[in-house]
Amino acid sequence: MMHCGLDFGTSNTTLGVVTDGAPRLAALEGSHVTLPSAAFFGPRDGVRPSDPAPRIGRAAIAAYLDGEDGRLMRALKSVLGTALIDETTLIGRNRVGFRDVIARFLAEVRRRAEADLGRDLGDVVLGRPVQFVTDDAAANDRAEAALGDIARSVGFRNIAFQFEPVAAALEYERSLDREELALVADIGGGTSDFTVIRLGPQRAAREERGADVLANEGVRIGGTDFDSKLSLATVMPLLGYRTPLLREGLDVPSWYYFDLATWSRINLLYQPNVIAGLAGVRRQARQPELIERLIHVLHEHAGHGLLMIVEQAKITLSDALTATMALDAIERGLTETVGRDRFVSATQALADGIAARIADCLTAAGTTADQIDAVFLTGGSTSLPHVRRAILACVPGARAMDGDRFGAVGLGLGLDARRRFG
């Protein structure tokens, strides 16, 4: 039996182990060590071990984009800590619990990692955000308990938890040849997580690291929130968001658009009663042709595809000053071009929210910005230029260090598993 660290991310999942003294990530999809946290259920796929397995990862996204009959689920982790985790969702003709969907996903992750490593996996350190849900202790406890129960149900034995930024710090620490006080900023798909921690080669060898961690902080802001805001600013108005009804002073209800811009809520809109209700909205709308487009998008289950196009535009804007979205799913030939300025103004408040939490973290650690030697940046959303700028402005004198943006947490969890279980 081998022990491992599991980083079940909002967007990507990795599994880390230590072999021959060094951490490595297991291949989870072909030779890829990252697995998009997505599942696609065809009409006959289910969650019981005897059911045909859903496709996961890139294959799940490809099945959806190929227009196969079935249902795509993404950002499953964001359901932890919300009431949805104890609810069921319609898959094919069956109602299944979100817990069972996550279990099916993680069971498959474990199976693939075991196949790649050629060993059975036993004990696990599960990564967790400092805050699954911002400032709600009860919800955070429930989220951790649910994740632990799910991990147990798929066969992991002893289960421990580690804050994701602390795990990233342990991986970063391997590159150090002297002591330093570091700030770690992990900006992922669902959450932003921070730790202020003392690191160094001597400390790395110690069994107990609790005293080195001066503070942890987190906030439920991540890349998916940037997707949502960009969608609401650019694509949703083309479907009637913020357009008036015939009755003076009223707009089309905005919840349709909020759900359509939120990965874990898109499927709720595909229910027949929602689409039927929109026929009434269309009759009362000043621009019924826009509501007609919305109905068409829901009919075609095109919500995920639209949000993927928005996410891709966001990623393009990390390097380019403009991005053009092809919106044929709304109307053939329709495009929308967005400049970085418009994206930044739609999302600067999110970047500011991240920076505010870093300030809280420094305060909680009893440190001032000038005492921080280095800031280690990880997580896919640290590629956003305005997010990076906001983080670095919190610790202007610190060295900015970049590591494996998608692998540092999983590698660090693998190191932590060896420390705890080895």
Q: Which residues bind ligand ATP (CB under 6 A)?
A: 9-12, 77, 164, 188-191, 222-224, 311, 314-315, 318, 379-381, 383-384, 406
Tokens of 364: 């909680």
Residue 172 contact, options Mg ion, ligand ATP, none, Cβ 5-8 Å cut-off depending on partner type:
none
Q: Which is nearer to ligand ATP, 12 or 234 (CB)?
A: 12
Among candidate residues 126, 212, 199, the one with its CA nearest the CA of residue 421:
126
Q: Is the dihedral of CA 179, 185, 188, 193 positive or negative?
A: positive
Q: Which is nearer to ligand ATP, 190 or 303 (CB)?
A: 190
Select from 9, 36, 165, 218 the one that contacts Mg ion (CB under 5 A): 9
Q: Which is nearer to ligand ATP, 12 or 195 (CB)?
A: 12
Residues 6+ apart with CB under 8 A from 75: 10, 11, 37, 189, 190, 224, 263, 264
**Placement of tokens 């997707």 in the chain:** 227
Residue 11 contact, options ligand ATP, Mg ion, none, Cβ 5-8 Å cut-off depending on partner type:
ligand ATP
What's the closest the beta carbon of residue 50 comes to Mg ion, in angstroms? 32
Select from 188, 222, 240, 305 the one that contacts Mg ion (CB under 5 A): 188
Report the half-sphere exposure of 390 (CA within 13 A, side-chain side): 24
Q: Which is nearer to ligand ATP, 46 or 380 (CB)?
A: 380
Q: Which is nearer to ligand ATP, 108 or 373 (CB)?
A: 108
Strand pairing partners for 102?
none
What's the closest the beta carbon of residue 369 comes to ligand ATP, in angstroms? 24
Q: What is the CB neighbour count within 10 angstroms for residue 327?
A: 23
In terms of DSSP H, where are the helices of 262-339?
272-284, 288-299, 303-316
What's the closest the beta carbon of residue 129 comes to Mg ion, in angstroms? 8
The stretch among 185-193, 240-248, 345-353, 395-403 that binds Mg ion (CB under 5 A) is 185-193
What's the closest the beta carbon of residue 133 comes to ligand ATP, in angstroms? 13
What's the closest the beta carbon of residue 78 comes to ligand ATP, in angstroms? 8
Chain Cα centroid distance, residue 363: 27
**Placement of tokens 């005293």 in the chain:** 211
Among candidate residues 12, 105, 121, the one with its CA nearest the CA of residue 404:
12
